[in-house]
Amino acid sequence: MNFVRAFVALLAAGAVAAGSSAEAGAQTAPLSIDVFLPVTGQAAFSGQALSQAAAAFEKYANAHGGVRGQPIHFDISDDQTSPQVALQLTNAAIARHVPVILGSAVVATCASIGAAVAATGPVQFCFSPGYSPPKDSYSFASSITIINATKAILTYAKLRGFHRIAFLGSTDATGIASAAANAELFKSPDLRGIELVADERIANTDVTATAQMSKIKATRPDVLWTSTTGTVFSTAMHGMNDVGLAVPVITTTANASVPQLKSLSDVLPHDVYFNGFSYQLGDLLRDNEVREQGKIFADAFKQIGVAPTALHALAWDEMLLVLAGYRQYGPAMTADQLKAFTLGQHRFPGLNGNYDFTSGDQHGLTSDAVVVIGWDKDKQDFYPASQPGGVPIKR
């Protein structure tokens, strides 16, 4: 079985067979799939983008046959960026005996869902790379581990000559995970030559980051690396501007939201970078299957009139894996079947790379799948800044 090659073949053939299946199943009720996202709350920018990803995938998948002719529908519930609400939604889904839950989008809400499902199911696909599910559990997380993403970011910083690095992290689960990754990686022989000159924290409820940025500015950093997201990232950028700290910023894919970046145009520094994915290299990407997935991704978003970003990509491959599982086992697929199917993938070509779940990290990708992308303030668009792994590209 190679679902992705079949998916590409359907596109190339014009989806004639899919059209016939759609007609035959016109009266069939959609196969509903639970999705929990922060449509409101601190991570609303992420939730809104991931909702768009679900809409694009749903429309594209249904145009290409759905699940054995039955259309799919992503039933999105708002977890309000709240672990407590996420847990309530999860318990309700467990009571309905659903096989899979997609979401949520930040570490704290993903961990809340994961604690309830990791041992007995349903299968969870968290859209935050920062979440670290237990090995061989029912929980999986998007793309790469936070340590692999941070390794690529810091490799890029080192090779760009950014030797003095300041870090600003949130006090929540994402910030704690990022700080732990820093503690390990700054000791790595591969990253010898870079120094963590500042290590500051900001709470999700803080309305200013002036104090933290003043301390950071005093250390004379070459670059600011921040794992803050959503409204906290916005607060950090305003604080940076307020104290006159004019250095490049490296942050996470969760902030690669065009509406958010446009709203921050007046305070963003000239150079802002994010951990992105291989497909963003476009024609520079050597892997034909991943490059083909990038074309499918772009075409799907064209159908809903949205320009896709790396933030949208955080959900794509997880939806791809779920659809592949349903197409193999049918609409009555169980959580046990989907878990076994996912763990059994050793070269699953997705949008963000080739997935191999033999490592046990429940993510499936390594730092070799990470591409650093930059934000062009003048063009209001992204561009690839590195090769896979963090090696800079000269512009």
User: Which of the pair, 189 or 310, is modelled with greater confidence?
Assistant: 189
Each residue of 105-143: pLDDT tens digit?
999 999 999 999 999 999 999 999 889 999 999 999 999
Domain CATH for 176: 3.40.50.2300
Are both 156 and 244 inside the same structural domain? yes
Are both 198 and 267 inside the same structural domain? yes
Query: pLDDT category, 378, cuts 50, 70, 90?
Result: confident
- Residue 9: inside a domain, yes or no? yes
The average pLDDT across 384-392 equals: 93
Instruction: Say yes or no to pLDDT of 162 above 70.
Output: yes
Q: What is the pLDDT of residue 310?
A: 86
- Residue 390: inside a domain, yes or no? no
Query: pLDDT category, 16, cuts 50, 70, 90?
Result: very low
Are both 194 and 307 inside the same structural domain? no
Are both 246 and 157 inside the same structural domain? yes
Instruction: Say yes or no to pLDDT of 49 above 80.
Output: yes
Paired residues of 251 in beta bridges = 274
Range of 63-77, 249-263, 374-388 with top mean pLDDT: 63-77
> What mean pLDDT value characterizes the chain?
91
Q: What is the pLDDT of residue 282?
A: 83
Q: What is the pLDDT of residue 50?
A: 97
The average pLDDT across 232-254 equals: 96
Are both 185 and 90 inside the same structural domain? no
Is the Cβ–Cβ distance between 32 and 99 less than 8 Å?
no
- Residue 389: inside a domain, yes or no? no
Q: Hey, what's the torsion of the CAs at 376, 380, 381, 387, to 10 degrees? A: 10
- Residue 12: inside a domain, yes or no? yes
User: Nearest Cα to 256, choosing from 174, 371, 374, 175?
Assistant: 374
**Range(s) of the domain holding residue 294:** 3-144+287-365
Structure tokens at 292: 């083909």
Residues constituting the chain: 395
Are both 140 and 210 inside the same structural domain? no
Q: What is the pLDDT of residue 241?
A: 98
Q: Work out how many domains the chain is built from and give that number.
A: 2
The average pLDDT across 22-35 equals: 74
The average pLDDT across 174-202 equals: 95
Are both 188 and 112 inside the same structural domain? no
Query: pLDDT category, 11, cuts 50, 70, 90?
Result: very low
Are both 18 and 70 inside the same structural domain? yes
Each residue of 250-304: pLDDT tens digit?
999 889 988 999 999 999 999 999 998 888 888 888 888 999 999 999 999 999 9
- Residue 55: inside a domain, yes or no? yes
Secondary element (H or E) of residue 35: strand 31-37
Instruction: Say yes or no to pLDDT of 6 above 70.
Output: no
Q: What is the pLDDT of residue 22?
A: 42
Q: What is the pLDDT of residue 1?
A: 45
Are both 326 and 267 inside the same structural domain? no
Are both 246 and 375 inside the same structural domain? yes
- Residue 393: inside a domain, yes or no? no
221, 254, 281, 282 from 249: Cα distances, Å? 11, 14, 21, 24
Each residue of 167-177: pLDDT tens digit?
999 998 889 98
Secondary element (H or E) of residue 235: helix 230-242
- Residue 395: inside a domain, yes or no? no
158, 165, 236, 238, 277 from 242: Cα distances, Å? 27, 20, 10, 6, 32
Is the Cβ–Cβ distance between 324 and 335 less than 8 Å?
no
Share of the chain above pLDDT 70, in %: 93
Instruction: Say yes or no to pLDDT of 10 above 90.
Output: no
Is the Cβ–Cβ distance between 199 and 219 less than 8 Å?
no
Q: What is the pLDDT of residue 287?
A: 85
Instruction: Say yes or no to pLDDT of 17 above 90.
Output: no
Are both 205 and 263 inside the same structural domain? yes
111, 136, 263, 358 from 108: Cα distances, Å? 5, 20, 26, 26
Are both 161 and 267 inside the same structural domain? yes
The average pLDDT across 296-315 equals: 94
Instruction: Say yes or no to pLDDT of 13 above 50.
Output: no
Query: pLDDT category, 367, cuts 50, 70, 90?
Result: confident
Instruction: Say yes or no to pLDDT of 320 above 90.
Output: yes
The average pLDDT across 68-82 equals: 97
The average pLDDT across 12-33 equals: 57
Please provide the DSSP assignment of 119-171 as one string. TT--EEEES-TT--PPTTSSEEESSS-HHHHHHHHHHHHHHTT--EEEEEEES
- Residue 339: inside a domain, yes or no? yes
Each residue of 202-227: pLDDT tens digit?
998 999 999 999 999 999 999 999 99
pTM, rounded to two decimals:
0.79
SS3 assignment, position 101:
strand
